[in-house]
Amino acid sequence: MQDLYHWIDGREVQGSSGRFSDVYNPATGEIIARVPLASAAELDAAIASAEKAQIGWAATNPQRRARVMMRFGQLIQDNMDKLAELVSREHGKTLPDARGDVQRGLEVIEVCMGAPAMLKGEFTDNAGPGIDIYSMRQPLGVVAGITPFNFPAMIPLWKMGPALASGNAMILKPSERVPSTSLLLAKLAQEAGLPDGVLQVVNGDKDAVDALLDHPTIQAVGFVGSTPIAQYIYGRAATNGKRAQCFGGAKNHMLIMPDADLDKAADALIGAGFGAAGERCMAISVAVPVGQKTADALIERLIPQIEKLKVGPYTAGDDVDFGPVITAASKTRIEGLIASGVEQGAKLLIDGRGLNIQGYENGFFTGPSLFDHVTRDMDIYKEEIFGPVLTTVRTDSYQDALDLVMDNDYGNGTAIFTADGDTARDFASRVNVGMVGVNFPIPVPLSYYSFGGWKKSAFGDLNQYGPDALRFYTKTKTVTARWFSGIKDGASLNFKALD
């Protein structure tokens, strides 16, 4: 078993709190490492180091910071297989999916290479007699990122890239379930030329989170996780005068219209519903066919495809479609929700419970499950399952289907499959969800846009990555400058226009 560490001031630091958390291989159920949980004193030391290092990093011109991002991106690319192996080992997702995890994070770093262009201020020459007005974007100082288990590479990179490119120092607290990827990324950032102390990785649990939220030096907090915790972090951060962007849970619907290509819609639902064992905040967990004929035809296509899905350890390579869920507790919760669906009257067409894989009997595996005739009052509809379970809610009309999405508490992502442009345009315009796919099941925007949900899926005004992230991690200063060039207007006590 491996003992992990914190990354503080550019070096490995063993934990001194005496508290540890076990890190599992979800495929085997074995403890493969233990990670130290930081004390308040350890966090104080990391934050003090970051505060000191940030001064010089902020004074580094944006182009030089961008060059560090460029080298960092190349090192991520060079270490893709090593990073993907760490992701798969601690999370359980397949290696191709893990590479996608790293790649989508790398794309944000690539956009951050162009940060100097996005950090430019504005200038107005001669706004009044001898008066120029200009604005500048300046870093906040020391910021924090708190990231989840389901994307061990992507979301830490979403947080650290824009924060560092903007001239901030960052305290990154990854999920204690998947810490190794963030620790390797910190080493690669140092190798790329990031000064010691600018990026700290401090492992911890709720105690560490609360210490970050309460520490006066931390100026902003970015979080991804469940909705209750997102709401808690947002409220506590705001109370302490910090900026916060907190992204929570989801219940993503995909509408299937009668004119849709049902083969493509079924393919999309398989990938979006069961990829990464459903442990994605943008997973499609609710299929919404419009019309009974559409529903029957869709189910007819889904069943044989789902029955062919292969579940197993990532080490099985291409023979596996998805792996285990993250913990034994997650497996128990998912299978409990499946049982509740049966008890509450939904029709369980494929039951993934009780999956036993030879040689991996202690792994946290649950097979794919498919429900039909689900209603909005059932627990499997109301709760985010975060597992390989696809539910089907039948509707009689497009308006009924739209209302179902609009009435849901969550607003992360949604999709519609249709051949009709008017319907697609109406749906994209009216639906109260932050990210919309048209004949596209997982509408995660490319990295030069921004990612963010609505309603109970997000708390805060600005989204992740893209232009919004650089706005979030900087503050605007506006300067009004006057140069006297023979102007003689005397003293005035009146508030007046500059012109």
Of 205, 157, 187, nearest to 35 by C-alpha is 205
Q: What is the pLDDT of residues 436-457, one digit of tens each?
A: 999 999 999 999 999 999 999 9
CATH architecture for residues 2-248+457-479: 3-Layer(aba) Sandwich (3.40)
How far is it, in rounded angstroms, from Cα 300 to Cα 349? Answer: 11
Residues 420, 258: contact at Cβ < 8 Å? no
Q: Pick the catalytic residue from 153, 281, 286, 393.
A: 281
Residue 67, exposed/middle/buried by CB under 10 A (0-12, 13-18, 19+)? middle
What is the DSSP annotation of 212-281? HHH-TTEEEEEEES-HHHHHHHHHHHHHTT-EEEEE----EEEEE-TTS-HHHHHHHHHHHHHGGGG--T
Average pLDDT over residues 460-474: 94
Q: Which residues in 30-119 belong to E strands, given as ranges?
A: 30-36
SS3 66: helix
Sign of dihedral through CA atoms 66, 73, 163, 115?
positive
How far is it, in rounded angstroms, from Cα 265 to Cα 256? Answer: 7
SS3 316: helix
Q: How far is CA 234 from CA 172, 228, 244, 247, 481, in A?
A: 17, 10, 6, 9, 37
pLDDT of residue 130: 87
Encoding tokens for residue 292? Answer: 């009974």
pLDDT of residue 487: 58
Of 493, 473, 21, nearest to 219 by C-alpha is 473
Encoding tokens for residue 14? Answer: 């063993």
CATH topology of domain 252-438: Aldehyde Dehydrogenase; Chain A, domain 2 (3.40.309)
Relative to beta strand 369-372, strand 347-350 is antiparallel
Q: Among residues of the chain, what percentage have pLDDT more than 90?
A: 94
pLDDT of residue 324: 98
pLDDT of residue 418: 98
What is the DSSP annotation of 382-395? HS---SSEEEE--B
What are the residue boundaries of the structural domains of the chain, listed by start? 2-248+457-479, 252-438
Q: What is the pLDDT of residues 280-316, one digit of tens each?
A: 999 999 999 999 999 999 999 999 999 999 999 999 9
Helices (H) and strands (E) in the chain, counts: 16, 23
Of 211, 208, 170, 217, nearest to 189 by C-alpha is 170
pTM check: above 0.85: yes
Q: In this model, does residue 492 exceed pLDDT 70? A: no
Relative to beta strand 252-256, strand 413-417 is parallel
How far is it, in rounded angstroms, from Cα 146 to Cα 8? Answer: 16
Q: In this model, does residue 498 exceed pLDDT 70? A: no
pLDDT of residue 317: 86
| Among 343-357, 401-415, 484-498, the least confident range | 484-498
Residues paired with residue 44 on neighbouring β-strands, in sequence order: none
pLDDT of residue 499: 55
pLDDT of residue 484: 79
Q: Among residues of the chain, what percentage have pLDDT more than 70?
A: 97
DSSP state of 319: G
Of 172, 180, 111, 178, nearest to 151 by C-alpha is 178
Q: In this model, does residue 496 exceed pLDDT 70? A: no
SS3 294: helix
Mark whether 246 is an active-site residue: no
Residue with tokens 């009004």: 480
Average pLDDT over residues 367-390: 98
Q: In this model, does residue 365 exceed pLDDT 60? A: yes
Average pLDDT over residues 140-151: 98
How far is it, in rounded angstroms, from Cα 392 to Cα 289? Answer: 8
Residues 250, 384: contact at Cβ < 8 Å? yes
How far is it, in rounded angstroms, from Cα 455 to Cα 38? Answer: 33
Average pLDDT over residues 229-238: 97
How far is it, in rounded angstroms, from Cα 62 to Cα 77? Answer: 23
Mean pLDDT of the chain: 96
Q: In this model, does residue 489 exceed pLDDT 80? A: no
Which conformational region is residue 37 in: left (phi greater than 0), alpha (psi within -120 to 50 degrees), or beta?
beta
One-letter amino acid at 473 equals Y
How far is it, in rounded angstroms, from Cα 85 to Cα 150? Answer: 14
Res. 318 pLDDT band, cuts 50 70 90: confident
How far is it, in rounded angstroms, from Cα 242 to Cα 27? Answer: 39
Q: What value does the CA radius of gyration of the chain take, rounded to a whole number of Å? A: 25
Q: In this model, does residue 493 exceed pLDDT 70? A: no
